[in-house]
Amino acid sequence: MADQYDVIVIGGGPGGYVAAIRAAQLGLKTACIEKRINKQGDPALGGTCLNVGCIPSKALLDSSWKFHEVSDSVAEHGIKVGKPKLDLATMHARKDKIVQQLTGGVAQLFKANGVTWLQGTGKLLAGKKVEYAPADGGDSQELAAENVVLASGSVPVNIPVAEIDDDLIVDSTGALEFDKVPKRLGVIGAGVIGLELGSVWARLGAEVVVIEAVETFLPLVDTQIAKEGLKTFRKQGLDIRLGARVTGTEIKNGKVDVGYADAEGDHSETFDKVIVAVGRRPYTENLLSPDSGVTLDERSFIYVNGQCRTDVPGIFAIGDLVRGPALAHKAIEEGVMVAEVIAGEHTQVNYECVPGVIYTHPEIAWVGKTEQEVKSTGEPYKTGVVPFAANGRALAAGEAAGMVKFVSDEKSDRILGMHVIGPQASELVQQGVVAMEFGATTEDLQLMVFGHPSLSETVHEAALAVDYKAIHVAQRRRKKK
Ligand code: FAD
Ligand code: AMP
């Protein structure tokens, strides 16, 4: 008899491990199959995010920012230190320790909640059966479940013009492991991952050139915010080349020649290392038997409805494997939703209010619609924009670059979008998420009391600015209609 579960989750990333924990909390007999072996050679939960994504990249972003501050900006605070020395091995060891702490923590949570972690590979068969191949090479087993949650995540996109060799040409995982700072670093792709990893190595002293095929910088971000970001990042020394498509790479004398074409013709640059960051794709290799009945959409994501149900009753798919932004918190909320739906509850993810964050410095964060999106609908709207330069706390901290922007419906005053470039943008944007979840109007924010001095006051002022009521910036008074 096959082992029988209420829920089998395939993949133990933020989507899968959360789904498993929530299902177990709800009293369901749950197993999670995860095949990852970490760089220490041990089985590991936590997926891309905890092992080679969100967490290690943020550890390096924070460490490299501290290095940059000590090198460049503490002097203006009246603190004199000598030229700092980089100990990259310690920086990596710190990052690895955080990763191990968090992935080990997920294993503890599995134990505490009674989730069975099956170390190895899972494959969905027909009839809600799952084939489990243990990582230790043991015999494959057939398991049965009332419900299966597919959560196998995503992997980096490879392009034939820049094939990964895990030495000179690397993907995001390799870019977290350089054992010395490359003198010249090429980054292919100016998306979130390219900008974050490019920033890490630029702060540590690399000369970084980012080559991006598309003319528009961060096309999904509000244009005003993206423009400010481009200006700031270029000022920081990131050499961002837009409208430049990589056409080939060649390894010569231990370096990489990268050919690219832009409107002016063909060019070539030589780098010590190249990071390929041209996006991620859903990971479906060997996940589905041909008769599983689960279908893919036109972009090779597993097809799901708004509740993450696939075409097969009892089979769900979540996270990077399905449509929507490839973000850990989106995967997490889908994990919670499917566990609760399986338990008979009526949970929904509000896809309108999923924040996006780019952990550059300053950070960029947003929720809801950009001004260009709202404009394209033809509906009347209003905006309020206030710079951090008008904020006492930001000035005191030496973090006055950037702005907060609201886009609101002209008639109803409902907040349609909030966009931030500036200090703690990842934290500030959450105020917009809360407001929008509650269907707030700009007036609701205008009438709230914000602590002084705080960065959040710029959120308040930007809401006030929507109706020409900001106090700390001069706004031209709107003529009464
Ligand atoms: P994953 O985290 O990819 O987990 C899927 C797991 O399933 C993997 O561990 C894999 O080994 C396992 N698996 C696959 N197939 C099988 C199988 N057949 N059997 C058993 N196991 C299987 N997102 C953010 O929100 N914020 C960030 O700051 C952020 N930074 C990032 C930085 C980098 C460098 C990268 C690469 C990504 C970043 N992301 C970030 C994206 C984030 O990592 C993903 O959105 C998130 O991990 C998706 O979660 P998931 O559970 O869908 O899949
Ligand atoms: P994202 O999907 O946000 O991770 O961003 C990946 C970026 O890589 C996109 O902006 C793509 O336009 C860019 N890109 C893809 N292929 C190439 C290429 N051959 N040369 C330069 N940029 C590319």
CATH code assigned at 22: 3.50.50.60
480: pLDDT confidence band, cut at 50, 70 and 90?
A: low
Q: What are phi and psi of 269, to 5 degrees?
A: -135, 150
* Distance from C-alpha of 424 to C-alpha of 70, rounded to nearest angstrom: 19
**Overall domain count for the chain:** 3
Residue 411: the pLDDT is 98
Q: In sequence order, what DSSP letters do the residues of 65-132 get, joined into one string?
A: HHHHIIIIISGGGT---------HHHHHHHHHHHHHHHHHHHHHHHHHHT-EEEEEEEEE-STTEEEE
175 and 274 fall within a common domain: yes
36 lines ligand 1 (CB under 6 A): yes
- How many angstroms from the chain centroid is the CA of residue 308? 20
- State the ligand closest to the CA atom of 333: 1
Query: Relative to the CA of 244, which ligand 2 atom is closest?
Result: 21
**According to the model, what pLDDT value does residue 103 have?**
98
282 ligand 1 Cβ < 6 A: no
140 lies in the same domain as 289: yes
Residue 444 identity = D
User: How is residue 50 written in tokens?
Assistant: 């905890």
Per-residue pLDDT, averaged over 435-444, amounts to 98
Q: Which atom of ligand 2 is nearest to the CA of 220?
A: 3
Pocket of ligand 2 (CB under 6 A): 159, 161, 188-193, 211-214, 245-246, 277-279
End-to-end CA distance of the chain: 77
Q: How far is the CA of 328 from the centre of ligand 1 (A)?
A: 7
The residue whose two tokens read 């700092």 is: 84
- Residues of the domain holding 395: 354-466
Kindly state whether residues 85 and 192 are assigned to the same domain.
no
Q: Residue 474: inside a domain, yes or no? A: no
Going by alpha carbons, the residue nearest to atom 15 of ligand 1 is: 152
**Of the given ranges (14-23, 67-76, 321-330, 407-416), which has the lowest mean pLDDT?**
67-76
Please state, in angstroms and as integers, the Cα–Cα distance from residue 338 to each residue in 70, 111, 305, 408, following that order: 46, 21, 12, 32
Residue % of the chain over a pLDDT of 90: 97
Contact by Cβ (8 Å): 180, 343: no
Coil, strand or helix at 151? coil
CATH number at residue 373: 3.30.390.30
> Is residue 287 in contact with ligand 1, taking CB distance under 6 Å?
yes
Residue with CA at minimum distance from ligand 2 atom 2:
279
Task: Let me know whether 310 and 192 are in one domain.
Answer: no
- Rounded mean pLDDT of 392-420? 98
Which bound ligand lies closest to the C-alpha atom of 321? Answer: 1
CA of 279 to the centre of ligand 1 (A): 13
Instruction: Indicate if the pLDDT at residue 21 is higher than 60.
Output: yes
Among 349, 369, 393, the domain-final residue is 349
Ligand 1 atom closest to 175 (CA): 34
Same domain? For 8 and 146 the reply is yes
- Examine the domain organization and report whether 295 and 272 are in the same domain: no
- Residues 334, 194: one domain? no
Pocket lining: 33 vs ligand 1, CB cutoff 6 Å? yes
pLDDT, tens digit (0-9, with 9 covering 90-100), for 206-265: 999 999 999 999 999 999 999 999 999 999 999 999 999 999 999 999 999 999 999 999
CA of 217 from ligand 2 middle (Å) equals: 11
Those residues whose C-beta lies under 8 Å from the C-beta of residue 408, and which sit 6 or more positions away, are 381, 382, 383, 384, 414, 415, 416, 441, 442, 466
From the list 92, 267, 452, 472, the catalytic residue is: 452
Distance CA 308, CA 318 (A): 6
Mean pLDDT of 446-456: 98
Residue 478 — pLDDT band, cuts 50, 70, 90? low
Statement: residue 10 has pLDDT above 80? yes
Which of 356, 347, 350, 352 shows the shortest CA–CA distance to 421? 356
CA of 258 to the centre of ligand 2 (A): 15
Q: How far apart are CA 154 and CA 179, in angstroms?
A: 26
Q: Which of 172, 153, 156, 193 is nearest to 18 (CA)?
A: 153
**Inside any domain, residue 478:** no
| Any domain includes 363 | yes
Residue 195 and residue 363 in contact, taking contact as beta carbons nearer than 8 Å: no
pLDDT at res. 331: 98
346 a catalytic residue: no
Q: In whole angstroms, what is the distance from residue 212 CA to residue 243 CA?
A: 6
Residue 15: per-residue pLDDT: 98
Q: Which of 278, 299, 330 is the last residue of a domain?
A: 278
Residues 359 and 428 in one domain: yes
Mean pLDDT of the 442-447 span: 98
pLDDT interval class at 1 (50, 70, 90): low
Asked if the structure places residue 162 within a domain, the reply is no
pLDDT, one tens digit per residue, over 28-39 is: 999 999 999 999
Do 144 and 42 fall into the same domain?
yes
Q: Are residues 337 and 409 in the same domain?
A: no
DSSP code string of 222-252: -HHHHHHHHHHHHHTT-EEE-S-EEEEEEEE
CA 197 to ligand 2 center in whole angstroms? 14
Please report whether residue 471 resides in a domain: no
| pLDDT score recorded for residue 476 | 77
Q: Is 385 inside a domain boundary?
A: yes
Residue 319 lies in a domain: yes
My answer on whether 215 and 76 are in the same domain is no
Taking alpha carbons only, the member of 319, 403, 451, 342 closest to residue 27 is: 342
Residue range 298-317: mean pLDDT, rounded: 97
* Domain edge (last residue) among 349, 367, 385: 349
Residues 219 and 191 occupy one common structural domain: yes
Identify the pLDDT of residue 2: 76
- Ligand nearest to the backbone CA of 220: 2
The mean predicted confidence, pLDDT, of the chain is 97
Cα–Cα distance measured from residue 395 to residue 167, given in angstroms and rounded to the nearest whole number: 43
Could you tell me if 454 and 393 are in contact, meaning their C-beta atoms sit under 8 angstroms apart?
yes
For the cut 80, the answer to whether the pLDDT of residue 291 exceeds it is yes
Give a yes or no: residue 149 inside a domain.
yes
